[in-house]
Structure 1
Amino acid sequence: MKKHLLAVVLGTSSFISAGAMAADVSFPHLETTGVGEVIAQPDMAVFSVEVTETRPTAKEAKQAVDKAVTAFNERLKKAGVERSDIESANIRLNPQYHYPKDQKPELTGYRASRHVTVTVKKLENLNAYLDGALGDGINGINNIQLKVSNEKEFAEQARLAAIKDAQAKAKSLAAGFGEKIDGVWKISYQPSMIRPVMMRAMAMDSGANTEASYQDSQITIRDRVEVVFRLEE
């Protein structure tokens, strides 16, 4: 008896049309979505801090933030942080005004700000760097990203897990319908991005205990693959 076209679609989170994957396919086939997941412990971080100062003149405001940034950069370099892992943004300088009712605005001073982004290759040093920033006059943390240094290795593990998942689903489904797999006809794949763990921004004097939270954090690396398997005719 001639077999009819068999199409099975898995993966409710997919926005890719399974029918589009196998468009104009005239032979019996089976479609699956393989999903892989790997849990990793972060071992590095990227954080961004900010110093903002308001002074009567633009020159004084600039000098104040430059002084804090220079001191912080020097502290990091003495601690062994490579210069290439420190990015100091250009200064932002804005006049500040007071707006009396029914009167012209009055210039009250200038606000200057600079950002410093630091890549921390040893996570255990993160808290010490943040504490050092406070002592150098840095007055805000914009964000902290916890990451893994060997992203490619974990991404490969997640990819292989997704491939095995697609194969296992296909084998199980084919057997359940009394069919046999006869090779792979099409593979659709788009690499998944590894998203770092984001810690919320905070004021430097907030007293928040970030150390325990980032040391206990985990990063989930996920990947997926869409596969069309040919069935024996």
Structure 2
Amino acid sequence: MNNLMRAAGLSLAIATAAAAPAALAQAAPPAADSLFRATTLNLAAYGEVRVEPDMATITLGVMTEGKTAAEAMTANAQRMNAVMASLKKAGIAERDIQTSNLNLSPQYRYQENQPPTLVGYQASNQVTIQVQDLKRLGAAVDTTVNAGANQVHGISFGLKDPTAAENAAREAAVKALSAKADLYARATSHRIQRLVSLSEGGGYAPQPPMPMMAMRAEMKDAGSPVSGGELRVRIDVTGLYELAR
């Protein structure tokens, strides 16, 4: 009997020792539980400023045709040289003129049940122009068209340096975020304890190109300025706030 009691006691001791770590593990809250011990606000806001553009980008080109590849390319080069000269005459610096696409392609005539017939070649040359002085923009567009540019793909307005506009939008975004956090804190009878984290999104994005038809509608006569309107610069922010009673 004594031996049986000692065996039972030993078994109970081993079982108790094994259960102790499990009981401790259940009693101790997981690390993630600490996140729920504080009341937090996760909010988003944005700041936006409107500024006038101080530069513009135009994409235009010349397309020519010829019976031979050489003829099409020669005619294209002559006309493009005239366009380049007109741009420089309009006050556009050479560093602000960049060739963006040069293409030569054969042209075929198609007839039913007949193989394609080569009828000539088409050459195209595109340039991208940055106009640093918007007062010269209308004259630059007009003079290139008069010089032989027969492809004007559009115009977009932008900023030479968007830093100041972005910083102004950042300040407006943070103020809006703080005001929203204060409102929620008051509404829930809390106070702001601290700002835990802050993240940013958005920023300056150049205006999409305006179709040439719309651009020409802005031009009242040859050489008149093109209206750039205003650009919107927006910064989005997200903040995590800890609240306290």
Q: TM-score range by the shorter chain?
A: 0.7 to 0.9
Secondary structure in structure 1 of the residue aligned to 2:48:
strand
> Cα gap change, 1:215/1:207 in structure 2, threshold over 3 Å: closer, same or farther?
closer
Partner of 1:231: 243
Of 20, 25, 28, the residue aligned with 2:35 is 25
Which has the larger share of helix?
2
**Cα pair 1:94 1:110 within 8 Å, conserved:** yes
Secondary structure in structure 1 of the residue aligned to 2:183:
helix
Of 153, 160, 168, the residue aligned with 1:157 is 168
- Tell whether 2:186 aligns with 1:175: yes
- How well do the aligned residues superpose, as a CA RMSD in angstroms? 2.4
Partner of 2:217: 209
CA distance in 2, matches of 1:113, 1:186: 53
Answer with 209-218 or 141-150: which moved more: 209-218
CA distance in 2, matches of 1:94, 1:134: 23
Secondary structure in structure 2 of the residue aligned to 1:166:
helix
Give 1:74 shift.
Answer: 2.0
- Tell whether 2:230 aligns with 1:222: no
Unaligned runs of 5+ in 2: 1-31
Amino acid at match of 1:184: L
Give 1:115 shift.
Answer: 0.2
Tell me how many residue pairs correspond in the alignment. 209
CA distance in 1, matches of 2:132, 2:195: 42
- Tell whether 2:144 aligns with 1:136: no
Partner of 2:22: none
Instruction: Flag the structure with larger Rg.
Output: 2
**Cα pair 2:45 2:238 within 8 Å, conserved:** yes
CA distance in 2, matches of 1:141, 1:23: 62
Give 1:83 shift.
Answer: 1.7
Secondary structure in structure 1 of the residue aligned to 2:216:
coil
- Tell whether 2:206 aligns with 1:195: yes
1:100-115 aligned at under 5 Å gives the runs 100-115=111-126
> Cα gap change, 1:96/1:216 in structure 2, threshold over 3 Å: closer, same or farther?
closer
TM-score of the two chains, using structure 2 as the length reference: 0.78
Of 72, 76, 81, the residue aligned with 2:92 is 81
CA distance in 1, matches of 2:179, 2:196: 16
Give 1:159 shift.
Answer: 1.2
Unaligned runs of 5+ in 1: 1-21
Structure 1 stretches of 4+ moved >6 Å: none
CA distance in 2, matches of 1:37, 1:89: 33
> Cα gap change, 1:182/1:207 in structure 2, threshold over 3 Å: closer, same or farther?
closer
Give 1:160 shift.
Answer: 1.1
1:7-156 aligned at under 5 Å gives the runs 25-26=35-36, 27-156=38-167
Secondary structure in structure 2 of the residue aligned to 1:195:
coil
Q: What are the superposed Cα offsets for residues 39-79 of structure 1, whole Å, 9 maximum, x if unpaired?
A: 11122100100111111111111011111221222222233
TM-score of the two chains, using structure 1 as the length reference: 0.81
> Cα gap change, 1:214/1:181 in structure 2, threshold over 3 Å: closer, same or farther?
farther
CA distance in 1, matches of 2:82, 2:51: 34
